[in-house]
């Protein structure tokens, strides 16, 4: 790929208008490239998509944000892109960033934000583990510090040595520091946010997610699509385009180079550089190029994906249920917090997460609620060959049955909960698969497995000299991980550390002007 002279490369096509594609496109548009983003759905954003139903707005994902505090990583990136003032962001409650309830003993934990507050809170709840808790939290933050880009620090040498725990299983990491079995389960409550699996998820992934949210959580005031729209604005004001309903159906590769892409509407697009922002296995379906060998295709197609989720979207009766300004986690008991990928229909769900989204003019009462429970794709695989809107009565009956199970648990947490409901609808792993173009409806893409680190590794560069990859499958997932990965991809074109340095300079200039 020609990276020595940017003027030789003007046009960039990004396949996929999710958060990864939009952040990567916006960063490169800011660098002066003409970026065209091709998105298969009617609206852009992927997990940032919002939609209206039952007369209310609902988000498909990205309900809680990390890194949006004034010195946070995502705040700095958005500041550099010139969109931070376009976003309506609200902090969650500082004294209770997360609420965790265990039904087996009716115990509720209200976790405050901030490293010291987090530590002191759990020391108060489990005084016999006081030193262990301190050591555990210190090690969490130390592991996160071993990822310089997580804090937008340039790693000029690229030879950082990692702690012995960095690549070891996260559940073993907790067991090493914490002796009380119940406390281990409590401290694992963020596991659903990192696709955690016992014996597989590396400790550094778990540490990054925990540190990100312990440092302070925020949420959108209004629809999550505001971030997608702001990133689109960056691309379009720099002579780029974001085109919806334009599904790439073929990527034509000749002589180790992408020549053009073709869409299902018969349109052809050409560029100097192409960036795939979709799942690698979905991309491989678009080309029969021998550059991607049978062994590589088999590895990608057989790589395990993270679990998915079943979600209930609830319209609440007016002035019925008070707004809750933080996420709420519910677990039946102090077991199986590292086995969310397992499915037992008779004992599902074991865990719920519920939130009352924040509207632009949020008052005392909530307007909607979203209730999510983790679920592997296998739970609905019998309908895998069906399409949205035509899955059949048995599928609709199954969804209703799952919803009733979740409502039964909600009634234990909020007595009389069903009396607050004005209407609801549901989505399953099939919904996520079809609308996000994510195999198995994976929430966080390809599994990062500490036993087979290379097996789940997807490089930014490909064997096609002008084809790169970005998004959650390449490096890190989530509201902070995906923008960081976008920086990695963009800097592959413009030069290592160049964008990070500009982001930090822009932040310093903003701080000085304030």
Query: Which of residues 178 and 50 earns the better pLDDT score?
Result: 178
- In the block, residue with structure tokens 């409590």: 186
End-to-end CA distance of the chain: 41
In angstroms, the Cα distances linking 370 to 97, 183, 194, 328 are: 17, 27, 19, 11
Query: Which of 223 and 457 is assigned the larger pLDDT?
Result: 223
pLDDT of 153 > 70? The answer is yes
- What is the C-alpha separation between 374 and 426, in angstroms, rounded? 13
Q: What is the pLDDT of residue 71?
A: 86
Q: Are 88 and 221 within 8 A, CB to CB?
A: yes
Residue 487 has phi, psi (to 5 degrees) of: -65, -45
pLDDT tens sequence across 394-403: 999 999 999 9
**pLDDT for 309-358, tens place per residue?**
999 999 999 999 999 999 999 999 999 899 988 999 999 999 999 999 99
Is pLDDT above 60 for 491? Answer: yes
Structure tokens at 366: 């909530």
pLDDT > 70 in the chain, percent: 96
Q: pLDDT tens digit string along 17-74?
A: 999 999 999 999 999 999 999 999 999 998 888 889 999 999 988 789 999 988 899 9
What is the rounded distance in angstroms from the CA atom of residue 22 to the CA atom of residue 278? 12
Please give the pLDDT value at position 271.
98
DSSP alpha helices (H): ranges in 98-169? 115-125, 130-145
Looking at domain 6-87+223-303+451-513, which of 3.30.420.40, 3.30.1450.10, 3.50.50.60, 2.160.10.10 is its CATH number? 3.50.50.60
Tell me which of 390 and 157 has the higher pLDDT. Answer: 390
pLDDT of the residue at 160:
65
Label residue 4 by pLDDT band (50, 70, 90).
very low
Nearest to 183 by CA among 104, 142, 127: 127
Dump pLDDT digits (tens) for 247-276. 999 999 999 999 999 999 999 999 999 999
pLDDT for the residue numbered 341: 86
Tell whether the model's pLDDT for residue 219 goes beyond 90: yes
Banded model confidence at residue 5, pLDDT cuts 50, 70, 90: very low
| Residues recorded for the chain | 514
pLDDT of residue 9 exceeding 80:
no
pLDDT tens-digit readout, 83-118 = 999 999 999 999 999 999 999 999 999 999 999 999
Percent helix, strand and coil across the chain, each to the nearest 5: 40, 20, 40
**Structure confidence at residue 500 (pLDDT):** 97
| Adjacent-strand bridge partners of 446 | 305
Domain boundaries, the chain: 6-87+223-303+451-513, 114-215, 307-443
**pLDDT for 2 beyond 50:** no
Q: Report the mean per-residue pLDDT for the chain.
A: 93
């Amino acid at each position: 790929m020609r990276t020595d002279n940017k003027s030789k490369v003007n046009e960039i096509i990004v396949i996929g208008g999710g958060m990864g594609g939009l952040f990567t496109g916006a960063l490169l548009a800011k660098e002066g490239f003409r970026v065209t983003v091709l998105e298969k759905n009617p609206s852009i954003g992927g997990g940032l998509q919002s939609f209206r139903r039952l007369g209310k707005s609902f988000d498909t994902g990205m309900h809680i944000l990390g890194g949006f505090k004034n010195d946070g990583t995502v705040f700095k990136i958005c500041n550099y892109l010139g969109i931070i003032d376009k976003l309506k962001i609200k902090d969650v409650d500082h004294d209770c960033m997360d609420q965790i309830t265990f039904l087996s003993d009716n115990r509720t934990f209200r976790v405050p934000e901030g490293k010291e507050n987090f530590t002191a809170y759990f020391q108060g709840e489990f005084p016999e583990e006081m030193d262990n808790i301190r050591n555990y939290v210190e090690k969490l933050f130390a592991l996160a510090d071993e990822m310089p880009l997580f804090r937008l620090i340039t790693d000029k040498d690229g030879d950082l040595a990692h702690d012995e725990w960095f690549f070891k299983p996260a559940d073993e990491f907790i067991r090493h520091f914490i002796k009380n079995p119940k406390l281990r389960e409590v401290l694992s409550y963020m596991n659903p946010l990192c696709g955690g699996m016992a014996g597989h998820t590396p400790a550094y992934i778990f540490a990054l997610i925990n540190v990100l949210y312990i440092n302070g959580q925020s949420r959108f005031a209004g629809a999550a699509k505001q971030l997608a729209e702001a990133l689109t604005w960056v691309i379009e004001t720099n002579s780029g385009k974001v085109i919806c309903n334009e599904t790439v159906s073929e990527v034509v590769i000749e002589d180790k180079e992408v020549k053009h892409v073709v869409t299902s509407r018969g349109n052809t697009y050409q560029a100097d550089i192409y960036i795939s922002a979709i799942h690698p296995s979905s991309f491989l379906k678009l080309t029969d190029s021998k550059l991607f060998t049978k062994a590589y295709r088999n590895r990608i197609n057989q790589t395990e994906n993270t679990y998915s989720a079943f979600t209930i979207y609830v319209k609440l009766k007016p002035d019925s249920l008070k707004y809750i300004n933080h996420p709420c986690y519910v677990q039946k008991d102090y077991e199986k917090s590292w086995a969310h990928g397992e499915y037992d229909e008779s004992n599902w769900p074991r865990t719920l997460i519920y939130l009352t989204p924040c509207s632009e003019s949020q008052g005392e009462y909530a307007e909607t609620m979203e209730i999510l429970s983790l679920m592997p794709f296998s739970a609905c695989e019998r309908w895998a060959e069906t399409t949205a809107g035509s899955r059949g009565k048995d599928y609709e009956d199954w969804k209703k049955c799952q919803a009733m199970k979740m409502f039964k648990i909600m009634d234990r947490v909020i007595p009389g909960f069903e009396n607050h409901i004005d209407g609801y609808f549901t989505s399953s792993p099939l919904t996520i698969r079809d609308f996000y173009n994510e195999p198995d409806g994976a929430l966080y893409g390809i599994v990062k497995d500490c036993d087979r680190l290379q097996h789940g590794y997807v490089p930014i560069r490909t064997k096609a000299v002008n084809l790169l990859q970005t998004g959650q499958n390449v490096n890190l997932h989530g509201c902070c991980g995906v923008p960081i990965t976008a920086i990695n991809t963009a800097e592959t074109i413009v030069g290592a550390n160049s964008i990070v340095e500009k982001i930090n300079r822009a932040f310093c200039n903003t701080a000085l002007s304030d």
